[in-house]
Structure 1
Amino acid sequence: MLCKNCRCGVNVCVRLTHIALCIAVPATLLWKNSGLKRAVVNGEDPLYGISYFFVLIVSLVMYYTACLMDPGYVALTHEKKRNGIQAVSNQQEDTSSSEDEVEDELLNADCEKPLDKGRKDRFCDFCEIQQPMRSKHCEDCKRCVRKYDHHCPWLETCVGERNHKFFLIFLFTMSVVIIWTFCITLKALESKVEWNEWFKVNLLLFLDILVLIFGGFSVLGLCGFHSYLMLNGLTTWESVSREKITYLKYLDDDYNPFDEGYIRNVYYFMCFLKVRRWETIYSQKAKIKTSNGVV
């Protein structure tokens, strides 16, 4: 386990590495005879250069916004602790668990108490709080996070209800930058007859292409995946661990109680600033589903 100072050092190193990569590749294009150099340095097309660096700066701003803002940590209050401890105490008096169930509860750091059909209250043993629906304890951040998506090693923080939109905007703008830069770099390659001479002249550009290819696959893939999650009202955690999540594992595999339709999903994901009461939405969907005779 890393100490707090070591973790801060890792955070700084990861984020400085991101800045270094975002600056190094365009700097190479400004030094070599590329379309970006002709547009910016030679002044052939200033608007082209301004547009490129505007998108790059927006991606950096979104990256650091997602990194530094509160992802949606659940407040640790004495009242919540007291209520959570009482809930566990009541459950222990009413129910008993098998050894496998106890092991599953410990691994997921929650205790289960039936509410509606298919819904469970979750109590975090680490934070000693009753978790809001869609929250999960992050072992790296040592906190429970609202609408937990995942802990991102490239951000060195969690992606949750408050910063998920900024993470997606970062992925989208960075995808644009990568594709744009890749096209500029390809056009900047110089033709040579001899392979050794070509490699010598284009070495830096060749390294740029490798960075863009490896980084591009990850960024473009994540951008597509998180766009899908936004449209369908899901999180990464809910998508990959549905069978382990207390409020989803008893529902039909193809039923998502948080899906409000593409337009509303996008609106609440991108434009809604407050945290939502997912318990209310879950209960409403459960009543509708029950009234239709599906459950």
Structure 2
Amino acid sequence: MLCKNCQCGVNVCVRLTHTALCIAVPATLLWKNSGLKRAVVDGDDPLYGILYFLVLILSLVMYYTACLTDPGYILMTHAKKRNGIQAISNEQEDSCPSEDEVEDTSLNADCEEPLDKGSKYRYCDFCEIQQPMRSKHCEDCKRCVRKYDHHCPWLETCVGERNHKFFLMFLFVMSVVIIWTFCITLKALESRVQWSEWFKVNLLLFLDILVLIFGGFSVLGLCGFHSYLMLNGLTTWESVSREKITYLKYLDDNYNPFDEGYIRNVYYFLCFLNVRRWETIYFQKAKIKTSNGVV
């Protein structure tokens, strides 16, 4: 287990590495005879250069927003044993949103009892709490996370209910940057008769292309996959571990109780700011399914 200072150091190193790569590739294009250099340094098309760097900066803003936003850590009740007596100290009361801050079907489960008291909820032995539906304990963060998606090593944090939208926005903007940069880099390659001469002249651009190809496959693939998850109201954890999840494994394989249709799924994913109470949606869907005679 890493100590807090070590973990913080890992976080900083990973994030600075990402930032360095995002800056290094365009920097080589400004040094070599590329369309970006002609637009920015030579002043042929400054608007083109400004637009490119605005998109690049936006990708970094989305990256750090996803990194630094609370993914949805569940407030814990801290238990301290002193002389055999267990003293409980709760989190501050104002951590629970007021009724004006939360939609009728989107209550903060830290402040409310589970909707269906007959239901069996997962108990986290590490955090010593009953997890709200769609939550999972992250072994890397040592916390339970709402609507857990996955722990991202490139962000060095979890992706959960509160930062999943920023993660997808980062992937989308980063995909645009990678494709745009790849096109500029290809056009900047200089032709030579001998392969040795070509390689010497285009070495930096060739390294840029390798970085863009390997990074591009990952980013574009993740962008497509998480767009699919958003449209279908799923998470990565639910998609790949359905048979292990208590509230899903007994349902039909093709049935998703959290799917509210493409429009509502996208709206709640991108535009809704508060956490939702997924128990409400789950049991409403269960009632509708039962009333239709489908078991």
Query: Which TM-score band (shorter chain)?
Result: 0.7 to 0.9
| Native 8 Å contact 1:67 1:156 kept in 2 | yes
| Native 8 Å contact 1:149 1:159 kept in 2 | yes
CA positional deviation for 1:169 = 0.2
Alignment of 1:61-76 (within 5 A): 61-76=61-76
SS in 2 for 1:137: strand
CA positional deviation for 1:152 = 0.2
2:285 matches 1:285: yes
Query: What is residue 255 of structure 2 aligned with on the other side?
Result: 255
Query: What is residue 45 of structure 2 aligned with on the other side?
Result: 45
| Native 8 Å contact 1:34 1:188 kept in 2 | yes
Deviations 1:70-100 (A, max 9, x none): 1000011369xx9xxxxxxxxxxxxxxxxxx
Deviations 1:148-197 (A, max 9, x none): 00000000000000000000000000000000000000000000001111
Change (3 A) 1:164 1:69: same
Query: What is residue 214 of structure 1 aligned with on the other side?
Result: 214
CA positional deviation for 1:4 = 1.3
Alignment of 1:12-91 (within 5 A): 12-77=12-77
Query: What is residue 202 of structure 1 aligned with on the other side?
Result: 202
| Native 8 Å contact 1:34 1:184 kept in 2 | yes
Identity of aligned residues (%): 89
| Native 8 Å contact 1:150 1:158 kept in 2 | yes
Query: What is residue 96 of structure 2 aligned with on the other side?
Result: none
Structure 1 residue runs of 4+, over 2 Å off? none
| Cα distance in structure 2, aligned partners of 1:183 and 1:39 | 15
SS in 2 for 1:120: coil
Alignment of 1:144-163 (within 5 A): 144-163=144-163
SS in 1 for 2:24: helix
After TM superposition, the score normalised by the length of structure 2 is 0.86
CA positional deviation for 1:120 = 3.4
Deviations 1:229-262 (A, max 9, x none): 0000000000000000011011111000000000
Which letter maps to 1:167? Answer: F
Which letter maps to 1:77? Answer: T
Deviations 1:253-281 (A, max 9, x none): 10000000000000000000010010000
SS in 1 for 2:206: helix
CA positional deviation for 1:47 = 1.2
| Cα distance in structure 1, aligned partners of 2:78 and 2:277 | 21
SS in 1 for 2:181: helix
| Cα distance in structure 2, aligned partners of 1:55 and 1:294 | 49
Alignment of 1:133-148 (within 5 A): 133-148=133-148
SS in 2 for 1:249: coil
CA positional deviation for 1:46 = 1.1
CA positional deviation for 1:212 = 0.2
| Cα distance in structure 2, aligned partners of 1:38 and 1:164 | 38
| Native 8 Å contact 1:138 1:145 kept in 2 | yes
| Native 8 Å contact 1:116 1:283 kept in 2 | no
| Cα distance in structure 2, aligned partners of 1:129 and 1:49 | 52
Query: What is residue 126 of structure 1 aligned with on the other side?
Result: 126
SS in 2 for 1:151: strand
Give 5+ residue unaligned stretches, structure 2: 80-85, 87-115
CA positional deviation for 1:5 = 1.3
Give the length in aligned residue pairs.
261
Which letter maps to 2:239? Answer: S
CA positional deviation for 1:218 = 0.3
| Native 8 Å contact 1:136 1:147 kept in 2 | yes
CA RMSD across the alignment: 1.6
SS in 1 for 2:122: strand
| Cα distance in structure 2, aligned partners of 1:250 and 1:195 | 61
| Cα distance in structure 2, aligned partners of 1:22 and 1:6 | 25
Deviations 1:200-241 (A, max 9, x none): 000000000000000000000000000000000000000000
SS in 2 for 1:2: coil
Which letter maps to 1:272? Answer: F
Change (3 A) 1:116 1:229: farther
CA positional deviation for 1:133 = 0.5
Give 5+ residue unaligned stretches, structure 1: 83-114
SS in 1 for 2:192: coil
| Cα distance in structure 1, aligned partners of 2:262 and 2:234 | 11
